Amino acid sequence: MNRLPLFACLALSAVIASCSDPESAATPSHAEVTASAPERIAANFAVTQEVLTNFQGMDDEMRALCKQSGGSSAACSTYRVSLINNGPAIAADERDWVLYFHSVRRSLALLNSDAFTLERVNGDLHRLIPTEKFAGIASGETLPLDMLAESWMQFASDFQPRLFVVGADGEARVIESTDTDDLSGIVLPINKNDPNNWKRAADDANVLASASSRFERFTADDEIAKVSEQDWRGRIIPQPLSSEILDGAPVVLGAGVAIEATGLTAGSVGALEQRLSQLGLSAKGDDAYPVQVVVDKSAFAGKPSGAYRLSVGADGARITGADTDGAFYGVQSLIALVDLNSKSLPQAQVTDAPRFPHRGMFLDVGRNFHSKQVVLKLLDQMAAYKLNRFHFHLSDDEGWRLEIPGLPELTDVGSQRCFDLEENRCLLPQLGSGPKADNFGSGFYSVEDYVEILRYAADRHIEVVPEFDMPAHARSAVIAMEARYRKLKDSDLAAAEAYRLIDPADDTKYLSVQFYNDSYINPCVDSTYHFVGKLVREVKAMHDSAGVPLQSWHFGGDEAINILASGGFEVGPGKDPEKGDTSADMRDKPWSRSPQCQKLIASGEVKALDELGELYAKRVSKLVADAGIPTMAAWNDGVKKIGNAREELATEHNYVNSWAPLFWGGGDESAHFAETGFDLVQSHSDYLYFDMPQEVDPAERGYYWASRYTDVRKTFSYAPLNTAQQAEIYPNRDGHGWEATSPAPEFADSVRGIQGQLWSEVVRTDDAVEYQVFPRLLALAERAWHQASWELPLKEGQTFSAETTFVDKQALARDWAGFSAALGNKELLKLDRAGVGYRIPVPGAVVEGGALKTALPYPGLALEYFDGEQWQPLKDGVAPQAIHSLRAKSADGKRAGREVTLEASANLSVN
């Protein structure tokens, strides 16, 4: 029977489906009737999730409820989970089950039903427990459950798959219809219930992506930026210091390319030959185009590592490198000149050297695991575009991803997510992993895997920088070491306690950025440093075994010290005092009730709780230095209290990944760390975080606390030294102007490079990794290698805003046009050949004068249209009236991007 009273059905027109006629349901089979309620729910329930109201549209009563429920007084939204029973009825007395679900927004209250109790277990795992008022769910019934959530929900990826039900027998069963990473059948359109639900705030000035808005954006610089075919054929990504296309016919590579190298290792030559093979350019007999590669340091006096010269002639090419890096990069530049469609390259002269010594890409495999295969594929493309630092984020709250000899619990327990509330076998399910360890929520690299990755990277002239995130974001390690303690305590107490990461007497009540109350390791206990020392030694041994010295150790430090100093705010993902938002509900500072920390403070070694992060950084630095590792790195949170890095840290070199959004003062953060003696790797989240959406479209995947969109051009426009100039080019996350001021010229001396980041909270699969990273990685490589003419010199005190006109925007447009033409006409096909599933852009389109006009952010891709029955190639002269929707194809024509419906835009009216 219907569980909503009649007045509720009348009041909530959006849930009329819940008043369905149970007589219309199919007659259940005998097996279905005899199955338990959890079995029937798992097998037969469909689920939809939808946003009802984002907080920008909430009334005062709802805001008060938000505050009363423990959320921010101004930041809550409402959403609905609808349970659709497509099987036999679940009777009122069948209450021996619990429904678990994931929500990256902290769900605070169940609004429209007293049939369930809502609880948050830990992190993003929530559950609904039937109460005595549960009246069953009839066959054919839709039961809507409306919930209040902290913060906003603007993209479909805010929702998670794999809801599951647990019965009295303790067995967890995934609701089969939700056991997928394709959310298109689960999440209803964000704007379904309110056309403004895509907005974060009432004054949100962003433009919702549509066919017409995309057309306007993609064609804005058409009059400025005309690129000839010769220009894009000769454009190398990343752009060299100088290049000249010579007279003479292009070189046809019908027999492939033969490399004759002296000075390069066999592994590096093999890596280059692998790339040639991927692209169909392997040497075929004596007629292959000869490429001579040599190393000659004497010819490059005063030039940085990686410098080279390239000469391409009709009869062969010669590459001279300042060192092996330069020789390797010279071959990559020759390949960059190749047009695969014609299998030719122009004759050219190139002189080149890198801008920065650190040209990095970061991959988070802690939140969700990513396979060794996609890591190797990423390394291939990093090498192709001359990126040379792979920042490997190997642990986080949700997973430990590297085997450590002697500590098997780290991978036996810490790398697995399954349903075990005691967490003896695995971590709790998180981030849509559900109750089973059969998806990317679980996994790890063996010692052998890691050694293979190290060697593979070294052959491609890439340094692997391992990171194990501590003292915050360390729950996987904490839980694993507690499982180890329980296993050993009765047989060998000393061994059980040797690597514990907590003070067992600490009853501090805190809530981390990701909603955990047990995710911090304790910096006041000696066993913490025994653990870190063990970790350093074992990872160093892996590097030694690979023949690849461990040069840099990244200890993490992400989102720890700022939370400590603020008093432990309850915050949402990507949402903390550092990121511009705070919550009304205050908790204890981490470690504030730890007897060991109180003892340490009483001893005078530290004066207060907010010095514990500094203490941790110093002690880890000593362990790293003692292991003979020259460089230590951290996210800026982890070393914010260090006053002088050169004096206070034991490691010879120290750098900071400066990540704060520029419009929230990220440039000032970078300047502060330069002043305190740190080198900088510019990693600003609003330009260089590839987990941000690629356009303002709820169908895109991504977190968006730093940026509502970061497309290829936005990353391309980033000025790593004078970041203040970005205020003139792009608005803040809400589409409004902001101001920033340049530091002194000497600031540039502290910048060792830039780095792109992919955090994986909503990136569950390898395919999703490739979609998020590519082709943005190529724009990252451009800025890391090449300093553009439109980047302004540092002038201390110069202030930029949307109203200033210091930046030569026409020069930026021309530079982008050359880059995007090379990207679209040459490089995307190379990504296709390498099996990289890059994001295919969504086209822009308008109808003018009765004709359809289309645009893409980079040229060279084919379009096709849907005529109501089938997809067809878009050709000149197709009547707009015949076109239902458009989409772009990949460069090789084998994949299609997301479609855009013409009727979605008033400018596309064909009436």
Task: Just list the catalytic residues.
Answer: 559
Helical residues (DSSP H) of 649-730, grouped into ranges? 666-675, 685-688, 712-716
Tell me the CA distances in angstroms from 884 to 142, 144, 907, 909, one per residue in order. Answer: 32, 33, 14, 11
Token pair 């040599």 is at which residue?
Answer: 294
Neighbours of 323 (CB within 10 A): 20
Q: Which two tokens stand for residue 783?
A: 């800025």
- Give the pairing of strands 653-658 and 463-470: unpaired
With a CB cutoff of 8 Å and minimum separation 6, the contacts of 43 are 32, 35, 87, 176
Token pair 């006629």 is at which residue?
Answer: 21
Q: Are 469 and 395 in contact (CB under 8 A)?
A: yes
Q: Are 434 and 174 in contact (CB under 8 A)?
A: yes
- Phi, psi (deg, nearest 5) at residue 335: -65, -35
With a CB cutoff of 8 Å and minimum separation 6, the contacts of 911 are none
List the one residue out of 680, 676, 664, 781 whose CA is nearest residue 721.
680
List the one residue out of 355, 361, 305, 375 whose CA is nearest residue 657.
361
DSSP one-letter code for 282: B
Q: Which two tokens stand for residue 485?
A: 């303690």
Tell me the CA distances in angstroms from 632 to 467, 627, 751, 758, one per residue in order. Answer: 10, 12, 15, 21
- Phi, psi (deg, nearest 5) at residue 853: -120, 140
HSE toward the beta carbon, residue 113, CA cutoff 13 A = 24
Q: Which two tokens stand for residue 886?
A: 């458009």
Token pair 């981490």 is at which residue?
Answer: 590
Q: Which two tokens stand for residue 883?
A: 């076109």
With a CB cutoff of 8 Å and minimum separation 6, the contacts of 29 are none
Strand residues in 849-908 grouped as ranges (E): 851-855, 863-866, 871-873, 885-888, 900-901
Q: What is the dihedral of CA 412, 413, 415, 420, to 10 degrees?
A: 130
Query: What's the CA angle centered on 703, arms 700 and 705, to 5 degrees?
Result: 125
With a CB cutoff of 8 Å and minimum separation 6, the contacts of 23 are 140
Q: Are 276 and 256 in contact (CB under 8 A)?
A: yes
List the one residue out of 87, 2, 1 whose CA is nearest residue 42.
87
Q: Which residues pair with 110 in a beta bridge?
A: 147
What is the three-class DSSP state of 65?
helix
Q: Which two tokens stand for residue 751?
A: 């910048």
List the one residue out of 389, 379, 232, 251 whose CA is nearest residue 310.
251
If you count them, how many residues does the chain have? 911
Across the chain, which distance is largest between two alpha carbons, in Å? Answer: 88
Token pair 């005998």 is at which residue?
Answer: 30
Q: Which two tokens stand for residue 332?
A: 């990559």
Helical residues (DSSP H) of 515-582, grouped into ranges? 526-546, 561-566
Q: Which residues pair with 129 in a beta bridge?
A: 117
The 3-class SS string of 104-135 reads CCCEEEECCCCCEEEEEEECCEEEEEECCCCC
Tell me the CA distances in angstroms from 467 to 200, 342, 459, 634, 776, one per residue in order. Answer: 33, 43, 21, 9, 23
